[in-house]
Structures are given as structure tokens and as C-alpha cells.
Amino acid sequence: MAIEGVRGKVGVLGFGMTKFGPGLYEMDLPHMSAVAYARALESADIAPDLVELAVYGHYNPLFRGQLMSDIYVNEELGLELRPTLRVAAGGATGAAAVDAAATYALAGRADVVLVCGFEKGYDCWSYTTRESVSEVLKGISFSADTVWEEPLGVTAASSYATTVNAFRAEHGGHPTEDEATAIAISHHANSLLIPEAHCYGQRPRTKEMINSSPMIAEPFRRGHNCQITEGAAALILITEERARELKVSDRVVWITGVGASTDTGLVGWRPTLSEYKCGEIALAKAYAAAGITNPQRELGMVEIHDAFAQVVYMAYIEIGLCRDADEASAMLADGVFHRDGRLPVNLSGGLIGLGHPVGATNIAQAGWIFRQLTGQAGAAQVDMSGRPRTGALKGMGGPGDCYCYGQVFEF
């Protein structure tokens, strides 16, 4: 099964990204986007004049101090006079951009679509603290309700922590600190095989390093958290009809399922505080479209938006990789989700290892599914023999993780 539209299916033909890093001061948004776009075109092996439409993912103009930056990215890429759309959905911005681009293609609006995400995170500066990170966090805080929540000092970490702590209270303290640490170690280790990753070249993390790192918001320690990152990533999507014309169908990773759901921004308004219901709904829709009835057995790999390691543990259950916390803990302990396990999670390194340049993040995760499924992941490649040639992406974000986009890919 697959999602189909006016011109049949749609899939990924090419992927490119810049280095993800903590401060790419030599590259502004148009420059880094042009690098990612050029690499995606090279990967797809098509001419730029075939691109008919561009969807841009860019979360927070406050970081760079530039509104409507997609206009200046678009002209740098030489795509003026072609239709464009800018998407913003908090941490899920990249996944939302992929969703929108696939929808445009399926609707017959374009046969070749660029999806490009980008973000700067270090152009902010606080003259009070004399550094940039606090100003970045302040910019993120304006995504919370500015009447009630933001004045009270809500942060991204505290909005996640509310739900995570409610989940732990209902599930016997799971995920424990050591379980969250095991997830963070695994994702970080995966990124050490990827030269473009934020954490590439770092020492492998240990249990002692993470469990002794500062507490950010109970139960999150610094070592459980994602990276503040800069960078850009791009995908080239193509319809089945155009792929057939160009004789490239055998190189396309098809998007066989999409799903989305949006919850309340105020966490306290949700009927059940201890779960991310929108994640469950979004992936259920994507699975239904793709014809997947047993994700644990029918997926070969999964990419999860790991802003905090504890949220990944919850996602194992929400998206059907296991039935409950007992099974999640057992599978985690058995190494099922490690890169050499039966169902590896975040072979890209995720937000914890690859980095989190918000608009680009989920696009890069989709890109690494593409590379793994097509055998182009280099040193990070896992053995695909005997493994389902399918991958799923769960992108989440926004205040209280209110947005979720799910996608299934098949080669």
C-alpha cells in the first residue's frame, strides 16, 4: 500500500546537508541552504531547472533577527518566480515541511519539489549574561503562551518535563535515569560515525558523564538533552510519473504513509497529562496509509525526535514499537534499539548527536533514513540484509510537544 495522488506516488530522490555545528559563523542562512541544496541535487543527479516548487522549514526568526528569511534563501538558490511555502511547527518544522511538500506533489502541483530546512542558533546575544544560549532559550520561550505561561518562566524543558513526570508516576518510575542515559549514549554513539554531526569527533559518552551532568528540569540532566545547533538540510522529492520519465524509479525511497495531529499548546488542558496523544494519532495514520499493522516487525529503522531522551522511551510505546513500559524496558535492556539491534532507533544520532537546527532537524533525519535504505550511509551504514526496507519518522515539537508529524518510507 502507499499514499497516491494525481501523479501516483511521491518519494525521496536526493538528500544533502551541511555540517551541523554549534556556531557556523562563516555561513548565513542563504549560504548554508545553498550548500545543502547543491548536495541534494548532486545526490539526486538531476538539473536544478527540474525543481518546480520549494517548501522551506524555518522555525524562529528571533534567532537570526530576520523575518521571512525564506525569500532570501530562495533567491540565493536561484528559484525566484517558482512557488514557495515556508513552514513553522516548532521542533517538528522539518517533518511538517516534508508533509507539505509531499502533499503538494500528490495534489499534482509539482513533480519535483525541494524541501529545505535551516536555522541559526548562535547569532543571538544577551548583553545581560554576555553569551548567546540564554537568548536562544528566551526566543524559544515565546513559543509558549505569552499571556499565562511565558511570564511564569516556562521553558522547553519544563513543558516536556510536565508530561514526562506524569508518565513516570503512572509507570513505576520508568524511564529511570539509567534508562534515559542508555538512550542518550546510544544516540550519541551513532553520531560519532557521521562527519556532518554536531557531536562528531567527541569522546563517547558514558553513564557516569551523563548521570553527573547538571539537572536542567527534573528529570532531565544536561546529558539527556538535545544540542543547540546551526545548519541546513535538503531533500529532493519526485513523483512516480516524473521518476518513470527520468528513469530513476529504482533510486527513489517512496513515502508510503503520512499522518499529522495537533494537540493543545497548554499541556494542562489535555485530558490525559501523561501521554503525547498527538504522536500516537499521527503515526497510526501514517501506518494505516502504508499498510503497516505491526510496526515492531515491519519497520527496519525508526527516527524519533529526541529533544530529551526520556521522550524517546515514551515514543517506543506511543508509536507501537512495544506494548507497555515493561516491554520497553526489556527491549531497551536487550539492545533492540541499538544500531546492531533488531529495530535501531536514531541511526542519524538524532537531536542528541546529529544536532537540532530546528528547521533542518527532521529533514536530516528523513535524509538519513534515505541513506540507510539505499546503502549510502558510509561508516554509519547498518547491514540491511534480512531487515525490512522501511523506516518511520516521528517529528514532534511546539509548546508542550503539541505538533506531531509521522512519515513512513520504503525502498
pLDDT tens, 235-281?
A: 999 999 999 999 999 999 999 999 999 999 888 889 999 999 999 99
Q: Would the pLDDT of 30 be above 70?
A: yes
Burial classification of residue 147, based on how many CB atoms lie within 10 Å of its CB (0-12 exposed, 13-18 middle, 19 or more buried):
exposed
Does the pLDDT value for residue 2 go beyond 80?
Answer: no
Flag the least confident range among 61-75, 115-129, 187-201, 264-278: 115-129
The DSSP-derived string for 47-116 is -GGG--EEEEE---HHHHT-TTHHHHHHHHTT-TTS-EEEE-BTBTHHHHHHHHHHHHHHTTS-SEEEEE
What's the pLDDT band for 25 if we cut at 50, 70, 90? confident
Look-up: residue for cell 547498518? Answer: 382
pLDDT for res 63: 85
H or E element, residue 133: helix 133-141
Confidence band, pLDDT 50/70/90 cuts, at residue 137:
confident
Which candidate, 18, 71, 15, 73, places its Cα nearest to that of 46? 15
CB 280 within 8 A of CB 152: no
Q: Rounded to 5 degrees, what are φ and ψ at 273?
A: -75, -20
Task: Report the pLDDT value the prediction gives residue 167, as an integer from 0 to 100.
Answer: 97
The whole-number pLDDT of residue 122 equals 80
Run of H or E residues at 362: helix 358-373
**How large is the average pLDDT for residues 99-119?**
97
Number of residues in the chain = 411
pLDDT confidence tier of residue 123, bands split at 50, 70 and 90: confident
Helix (H), strand (E) at residue 117: strand 112-119
The DSSP 8-state label assigned to residue 155 in this structure reads -
Q: How confident is the model at residue 135 (pLDDT cuts 50, 70, 90)?
A: confident
- Residue 109 or residue 154, greater confidence: 109
Distance of CA 267 to CAs 141, 262, 290, Å? 15, 12, 30
pLDDT at 150: 77
Residues with Cβ < 8 Å from 356, sequence gap 6 or more?
91, 226, 227, 228, 229, 307
Parse the chain into domains and list their residue ranges: 10-124+228-250
pLDDT in tens, 341-387: 999 999 999 999 999 999 999 999 999 999 999 999 999 999 999 99
| DSSP H helices in 171-221 | 177-191, 207-211
Q: Cα(91)–Cα(235) distance, rounded to whole angstroms?
A: 18
CA torsion, ordered 106, 399, 233, 251, to nearest 10 deg: -40
pLDDT band at 128 (very low <50, low <70, confident <90, very high): confident
139-182 pLDDT per residue, tens:
777 787 888 877 877 788 888 999 999 999 999 999 999 999 99
CA angle 404, 143, 282 (to 5 degrees): 5
Q: Does 40 have pLDDT greater than 60?
A: yes
- Compute the distance between CA of residue 193 and CA of residue 28 in angstroms, rounded to an integer: 26
Give the end-to-end CA distance of the chain in Å, rounded to a whole number. Answer: 13
Pick the CATH number of 10-124+228-250 from 3.40.605.10, 3.40.47.10, 3.40.470.10, 3.40.50.620: 3.40.47.10
- What is the arithmetic mean of pLDDT over 15-44? 95
User: Which is nearest to 394 in space by CA: 317, 291, 326?
Assistant: 317
pLDDT grade for 23, boundaries at 50, 70 and 90:
confident
Q: Beta-carbon neighbour count of residue 20 at 10 Å?
A: 31
388's CB contacts (< 8 A; 6+ apart) are: 297, 298, 299, 300
1: pLDDT strictly greater than 70? no
Cα–Cα dist 314/394, whole Å: 12
Kindly state the average pLDDT of the residues 40-61: 97
- On the question of pLDDT at 65 being above 90, the answer is no
